[in-house]
């Protein structure tokens, strides 16, 4: 038995020695001579198209960029245009054109973007600064990309050793022998092995005992444009109101001072067709009046609430560009301080294109010093009116998101009810905050109410309504001597009366209900509040909102004082 064990051990030792000797001689070629390779950090990328190398320049496929470098990259196949966006940059490249557009200004390229086998390829060096990457050709066929914001850990060889293909002793070499003092980049550790990358782009493993971790560098960041801060009031939270302009602008001589107001947003612009033409109702006198009174002006632009027109212009890069150019021109012409986008009634299939439009508008607004905001509805099951907004993605492409917290019961609602019940508003805000940072959320409040009519027609209950201003509903209730009662559930006064077999119901917006709603701004630390629309309010509303947004910082104390 002892003899058998001795023989067995001898054979085992010899086998190990032979295997070790063989593997020490065996070197696997990491890169085939007839292929091009892309390395990102410590990973060889094999699940997308190979890079194209031409005259020392690297072109990456759109798919590679989209998957590994910029998930927001966009390819307009019909127009042969690739679009890249950041907070500060909008870069577009048309295939087979030696000019790129950076923030709508032409910049020459050294090499053409192109389509190869139906896949667009882009000269990646041109995008280095935007993507915070460094691109290097380590050989004629290997392109290496590193994120310049990542720390770099280097290892210095303590012995003449090679790089193994795997983290095992018997793994074949992918690079045979390196000299003492040679350096490799270290990515991570697997047991006693480091995953490394050599200067010429070979990726593999070396035992930790053969390496000295010699330096850890954080690369100097590339020069960036100074960060542009969106508008913030000098005191408290944002206080904004929309100005509804139908045919002509209001008579500014009749508008009284609005206490605590920061921003007016007139409904001046509308995309009227699929070609991207914009109807303009801008008025310089209004802007001068606003600025004289200390108000910023955020011009509002709609899509005419037409889903078919919107589908056409959102899905065409050139038309999106045309719309953006017009908005920027009008902003300069009227000396605007911001743009408020109010695109509604949009097909769910265009959800991502709406986000893309905002991504393309955002950096150009920042460059022009404009604060960009967007109006969205509460989260609901409604397709065109709610699900078309990717609120989480949109939050990254705007300075502020105004949540239209009203029309809980809309004009043609089958049942009578509040326009904006307090608990409904609070619940909706909490859901929004799951997707949008609180510091970007502006709470939209209604300055109107609906007077509901319920009557029996052919044995069925018919429900209809009409919108009234705050003053309008108070006038009706006073004339008819109707008493109101406080409805704690809705956070509003409720009134009901009957005439000619018709039952009238109303949930009233007034100073008390607006006080409750605007208190949510501090409760959830929102950016501020906005109201639809100027002219529907009673004069005492402004003092209430100003007190909440400009003077109250401690919601807990306020809630206790108001029995909340």
Asked whether residue 219 is assigned to any structural domain, the reply reads no
- Give me the pLDDT at residue 215, please: 76
* Domain end among 103, 129, 147: 147
Considering the domain architecture, whether residues 388 and 532 belong to the same structural domain is answered as: yes
Same domain, 291 and 412: yes
Residue 32 falls within a domain, yes or no? no
- Residues 132, 258 within the same domain: no
Residue 564: the pLDDT is 59
Pair (422, 305) in one structural domain = yes
Q: How confident is the model at residue 228 (pLDDT cuts 50, 70, 90)?
A: confident
What's the confidence (pLDDT) of residue 11?
56
Among residues 126, 147, 168, which one ends one of the domains?
147
d(C-alpha 233, C-alpha 266), whole Å: 19
pLDDT of residue 18: 46
Asked if the structure places residue 452 within a domain, the reply is no
Residues 395 and 291 in one domain: yes
Q: What is the pLDDT of residues 455-471, one digit of tens each?
A: 999 999 999 999 999 99
Confidence of residue 264 (pLDDT cuts 50, 70, 90): very high
In a domain, 384, yes or no: yes
Q: Please report whether residue 139 resides in a domain.
A: yes
**pLDDT greater than 80 at residue 558:** no
Model pLDDT for residues 76-114, shown as the tens digit of each residue: 999 999 999 999 999 999 999 999 999 999 999 999 999
Question: If you average pLDDT over residues 507-533, what whole number do you get?
Answer: 98
List the structure tokens of 60.
Answer: 């990456």
**CATH number of the domain where residue 330 is located:** 3.20.20.80
Kindly state the average pLDDT of the residues 535-549. 97
CB 279 within 8 A of CB 323: no
Confidence of residue 19 (pLDDT cuts 50, 70, 90): very low
Rounded to 5°, angle at Cα 13 from 11 and 18: 90
Query: What's the mean pLDDT in 408-423?
Result: 97
For residue range 161-191, what is the model confidence (pLDDT) as tens digits? 999 999 998 899 999 889 999 999 999 999 9
| pLDDT at residue 466, rounded to an integer | 97
133 plus 266 within the same structural domain = no
Do 246 and 142 share a structural domain?
A: no
Q: What is the pLDDT confidence band of residue 144, given thresholds at 50, 70 and 90?
A: very high
- Residue 16: its pLDDT value, please? 47
DSSP state of 226: P
* Dihedral over alpha carbons 461, 467, 471, 476 (to 10 degrees): -30
Q: Which residues are CB-neighbours of 7 under 8 A, at least 6 positions away?
A: none
When pLDDT is averaged across residues 458-485 and rounded to a whole number, the result is: 96
Q: How many domains does the chain have?
A: 2
Tokens of 366: 């920042």
- Provide the 10 A C-beta neighbour count for residue 298: 26
Within this chain, do residues 397 and 534 fall inside the same structural domain, yes or no? yes
Residue 23 neighbours by CB under 8 Å, 6+ apart: 169, 170, 171, 172, 173
pLDDT band at 225 (very low <50, low <70, confident <90, very high): low
Residue 355 in domain:
yes
Q: What pLDDT is recorded for position 21?
A: 47
**pLDDT confidence of residue 13:** 46
List of residues 6+ apart from 528 with CB closer than 8 A: 233, 237, 238, 239, 240, 262, 442, 443, 521, 549
In a shared domain, residues 283 and 426 = yes
Averaged pLDDT, 509-525: 97
* CA gap 393, 416 in Å, rounded: 34
> Residue 177 has what pLDDT?
87
Q: Does 249 share its domain with 143?
A: no
> What mean pLDDT, rounded, does the chain reach?
93
Quick one: 141 and 244 in the same domain? Answer: no
Residues 270 and 129 in one domain: no
Residue 223 lies in a domain: no
Domain limits for position 268: 238-446+510-561
151 vs 462, higher pLDDT: 462
* Residue 170 domain-assigned (yes or no): no
Going across the sheet that includes 114-116, the strands are 52-54, 57-61, 119-123, 114-116
Q: What's the mean pLDDT in 401-411? A: 98
Q: Which of 113, 147, 181 is the last residue before a domain boundary?
A: 147
Give the mean model confidence (pLDDT) for residues 277-282.
98
What CATH number did the domain enclosing 91 receive? Answer: 3.30.457.10
Q: Strand, helix or coil at 526?
A: coil
CA distances (Å), origin 189, targets 155, 196, 201: 12, 9, 18
């Amino acid at each position: 038995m002892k003899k058998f064990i001795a023989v067995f051990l001898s054979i085992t030792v010899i086998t190990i020695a032979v295997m070790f000797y063989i593997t020490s001689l065996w070197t696997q070629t990491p890169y085939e001579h007839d292929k091009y390779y892309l390395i990102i950090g410590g990973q060889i990328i094999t699940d997308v198209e190979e890079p194209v190398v031409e005259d020392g320049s690297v072109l990456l496929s759109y798919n590679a960029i989209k998957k590994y470098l910029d998930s927001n990259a966009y390819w307009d196949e019909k127009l042969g245009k690739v679009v890249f966006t950041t907070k500060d940059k909008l870069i577009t490249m048309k295939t087979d054109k030696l000019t790129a557009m950076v923030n709508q200004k032409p910049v020459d390229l050294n090499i053409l973007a192109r389509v190869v086998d139906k896949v667009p390829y882009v000269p990646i060096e041109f995008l280095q600064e935007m993507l915070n990457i460094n691109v290097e050709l380590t050989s004629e066929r290997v392109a290496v990309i590193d994120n310049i914001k990542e720390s770099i850990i280097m290892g210095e060889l303590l012995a003449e050793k090679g790089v193994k293909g795997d983290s095992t002793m018997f793994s074949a070499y992918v690079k045979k022998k390196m000299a003492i003092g040679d350096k490799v980049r270290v990515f991570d550790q697997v047991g006693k092995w480091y995953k490394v990358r050599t200067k010429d782009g070979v990726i593999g493993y070396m035992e930790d005992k053969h390496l000295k971790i010699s330096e850890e560098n954080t690369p100097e960041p590339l020069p960036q444009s100074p960060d542009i801060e969106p508008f913030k009031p000098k005191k408290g939270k944002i206080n904004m109101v929309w100005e509804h302009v139908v045919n002509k602008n209001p008579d500014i001589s009749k508008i009284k001072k609005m206490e605590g107001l920061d921003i007016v947003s007139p409904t001046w612009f509308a995309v009227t067709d699929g070609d991207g033409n914009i109807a303009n109702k801008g008025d310089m006198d209004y802007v001068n009046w606003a600025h004289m009174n200390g108000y910023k002006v955020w011009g509002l632009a709609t899509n005419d609430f037409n889903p078919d027109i919107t589908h056409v212009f959102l899905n065409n890069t050139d038309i999106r560009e045309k719309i953006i150019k017009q908005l920027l021109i009008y902003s300069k012409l009227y000396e605007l301080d911001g743009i408020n986008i109010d695109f509604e009634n949009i097909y769910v299939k265009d959800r991502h294109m709406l986000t893309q439009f905002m991504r393309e508008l955002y950096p150009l607004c920042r460059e022009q010093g404009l604060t960009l905001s967007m109006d969205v509805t509460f989260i609901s099951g409604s397709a065109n009116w709610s699900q078309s907004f990717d609120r989480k993605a949109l939050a990254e492409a705007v300075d502020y998101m105004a949540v239209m917290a009203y029309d809980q019961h809309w004009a043609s609602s089958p049942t009578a009810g509040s326009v904006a019940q307090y608990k409904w508003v609070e619940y909706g805000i909490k859901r929004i905050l799951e997707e949008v940072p609180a510091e970007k959320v502006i709470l939209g409040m209604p300055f109107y109410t609906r007077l509901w009519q319920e009557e029996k027609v052919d044995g069925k209950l018919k429900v209809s309504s009409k919108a009234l201003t705050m003053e309008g509903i108070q006038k009706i209730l006073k004339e008819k001597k109707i008493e109101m009662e406080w409805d704690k559930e809705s956070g509003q006064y409720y009134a009901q009366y009957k005439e000619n077999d018709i039952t009238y119901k109303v949930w009233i917006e007034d100073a008390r209900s607006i006080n409750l709603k605007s208190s949510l701004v501090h409760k959830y630390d929102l950016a501020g509040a906005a109201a639809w629309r100027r002219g529907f309010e009673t004069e005492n509303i402004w003092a209430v909102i100003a007190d909440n947004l400009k003077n109250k910082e401690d919601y807990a104390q306020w809630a206790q004082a108001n029995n909340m």
